[in-house]
Structure 1
Amino acid sequence: MTQSEVYNQLSSLLVPTSASHSRHRTTSEISDGLKRIRRLILTEGIPYEDGKASLRPAIWKLMLRIDSLHAEDYLRYVAMGPSEVSTKIKNDTFRTLATDTQFKGKVKEDMLIRLLEAFVWKNHGSERDGLPFTYVQGMNVLSAPFLYTMPSQLEAFACFSTFIEKCCPLYVQPTLTGVHRGLKLLDRCLKIVDTELYDHLRSKNLSAELYAFPSVMTLCACTPPLDAVLRLWDTRSPSRSFLLAFGVHLNILCVIAQLILMKNELMESPSPMKILRTFPPLDVKRVIDITLVLVGEIPEELYRELVAHPFAS
């Protein structure tokens, strides 16, 4: 299928025909449309027109179920100014994707600060499903793809807030509970899918906590290039956000896929941590292909733990 054909098919699914627009679509019709969109994204990817993935913002909002925007609320949060964690936010925002000139050319630091401060005020003094939300390390990087992708800061804020609160709430708790669970699961999964590599890293006293923390905490958004990260995030499960198409939990297997791509170099190195300090540029197609194979190699019980770890207590 050509890029143009994919674009036309996705456009027709995103923008209802005049006939369907004249009536409310049923839950079944909406569900069927979402399945068709997910299938197209998985098999063909989001098409590029004039060098841009122009459908990405609409698709991300659809996958996150963003059906309305509340400009008054966002402006009210912004008007509240610096929060009690303002210093912590500013200690991180200036270095967000610092080496990515494309990102820096579009997303200024004040945009990051504004969105993150607004998120803190939105959740100030309240809990969602028994969980409090404030700013924690790594949220600056998680917000970056949304600010880069969305046409407006309002849309970026709506998508980021929903993503954090619904898709990976345990990743942004003060103790980073979900991140640490993910790192332990990474070790367990690696031991199953590539025992040789796991044993080699353990022989050097290397656990996922030591080498994979940034990749797990930021859902690979810390690994350039940003365009590849966006493609990795594009592909959502019927219930949640490949990583906005099949689930945040798959990021653990995406990190393992990157390790497998580095395996020869890691196995030959007497000091593999020197290699692991900086992951190579993200080869998104190979990473996704390997990840889909790894899914079938994880025992069912362990996979259930993997699925649940970003949000289940």
Structure 2
Amino acid sequence: MAPTTNSAATATAHSFTKILNQYKSSSKARSSNDVEESVKKLRRLILVDGIPSSVDPTLRPRIWKILLRVHNVSADLFLAYVGRGPCEVREKIRNDTFRTLATDRGFKERVREDMLVRLLDAFVWRNHDRQDSDHLGFTYVQGMNVLAAPFLYTMPSELEAFFCFAKFIEESCPLYVQPTLEGVHRGLKLLDRCLKIVDPELYGHLRAKNLAAEIYAFPSVLTLCACTPPLDQVLQLWDFLLAFGVHLNVLCVIAQLLLMRDKLMQSSSPMRLLRSFPPLDALPVIGIAVTLVRDLPMDLYDELVRHPYAVEDH
């Protein structure tokens, strides 16, 4: 993914628009091969050029909906959930929503707290109705407010944000939002194992200071890096994660460690540096994460791919 000039960004926007139009027509014709081919082209373009949102702000929401396979949104259904009022864990939701991306003025201007509360209430009601053996159960858990924030910021309506968020949680990372946060803890263990392979020296330095990923990387894994500003860089990173899989967030966190490697290695107390990561810079983080994939043994990478969603027998 390379930085783009204005003319390059405009050309990229045209390329995205062309693929989106192809996708629209192939979706209507119901050819699954054509649809899949369009999605592949979108992924490739996201990796090579990034989504030029500054040129065309409508691109990101349209592309996210395609990547998440959100085709139908029902206003009646969403309004029915909202109409049920506060869910049983409303107090827990309100304890978190007011501080969601609190330092980001642009976010605060676009996304009011009541929008977050409404979306999270509706999500709890939706899953209150779906308690059956085919689905993992969901309620509100810590971190969900931050995972909902990019959808409310990006999508043109609360309605679309709700259905994208619900699909994302239920299919992409259901284990991240179980009451035990099982997927998050698995991700943190995998982060340690991957770091030990890709940079044994840095891993050894951190472990010598009793620093496991559980201690320093919990917020970054829990929120898929949405806890590290600025938001425009978070959205670029999420373009990549939605295109290629949320499991890659673990490698994106390692990429951030590698970008601050020299300072970490020189520090006698690296936790001071890790308490708050440097501002996110999506392009180098994505570039490093992609190269790290090649360094991992296949069985470990397979475990990484499965950890956000695959329920395993204990």
Q: TM-score, normalised by structure 2?
A: 0.93
Cα contact 1:127–1:133 (8 A) shared by 2: no
Q: Tell me which of 299, 310, 313 is aligned to 1:312.
A: 310
Gap runs ≥5 in structure 1: 236-242
Q: Tell me which of 204, 213, 221 is aligned to 2:209.
A: 204
Counterpart-to-counterpart distance in 1, 2:210 and 2:46? 39
Counterpart-to-counterpart distance in 2, 1:23 and 1:268? 58
Q: Which runs of 4+ in 1 moved over 3 A?
A: 20-23, 127-130
Counterpart-to-counterpart distance in 1, 2:145 and 2:237? 18
Counterpart secondary structure, 1:61: helix
Deviation at 1:13, TM superposition (A): 1.6
Residue 267 of structure 2 is matched in structure 1 by 269
Aligned AA (2:247): H
Residue 70 of structure 2 is matched in structure 1 by 66
Counterpart-to-counterpart distance in 2, 1:286 and 1:228? 11
Residue 32 of structure 1 is matched in structure 2 by 37
Gap runs ≥5 in structure 2: 1-6
Residue 231 of structure 1 is matched in structure 2 by 236
Counterpart-to-counterpart distance in 2, 1:162 and 1:128? 18
Deviation at 1:267, TM superposition (A): 1.0
Counterpart-to-counterpart distance in 2, 1:23 and 1:163? 24
Q: TM-score, normalised by structure 1?
A: 0.94
Deviation at 1:21, TM superposition (A): 7.2
Residue 20 of structure 2 is matched in structure 1 by 14
Deviation at 1:93, TM superposition (A): 0.3
Q: CA 1:197–1:129 in 2, change beyond 3 Å: closer, same or farther? A: farther
Q: Tell me which of 178, 185, 207 is aligned to 1:180.
A: 185
2:93 equivalent to 1:96: no
Residue 238 of structure 1 is matched in structure 2 by none
Counterpart secondary structure, 1:205: coil
Root mean square deviation of aligned Cα:
1.7
Cα contact 2:27–2:35 (8 A) shared by 1: no
Counterpart-to-counterpart distance in 1, 2:17 and 2:281? 27
Deviation at 1:134, TM superposition (A): 0.5
Counting aligned pairs with the same residue, the percent is 62
Counterpart-to-counterpart distance in 1, 2:23 and 2:255? 40
Counterpart-to-counterpart distance in 2, 1:21 and 1:304? 32
Residue 175 of structure 2 is matched in structure 1 by 170
Counterpart-to-counterpart distance in 1, 2:93 and 2:71? 29
Counterpart-to-counterpart distance in 2, 1:209 and 1:273? 12
After superposition, residues 243-254 of structure 1 pair within 5 angstroms as 243-254=241-252
Residue 3 of structure 2 is matched in structure 1 by none
Q: CA 1:288–1:21 in 2, change beyond 3 Å: closer, same or farther? A: closer
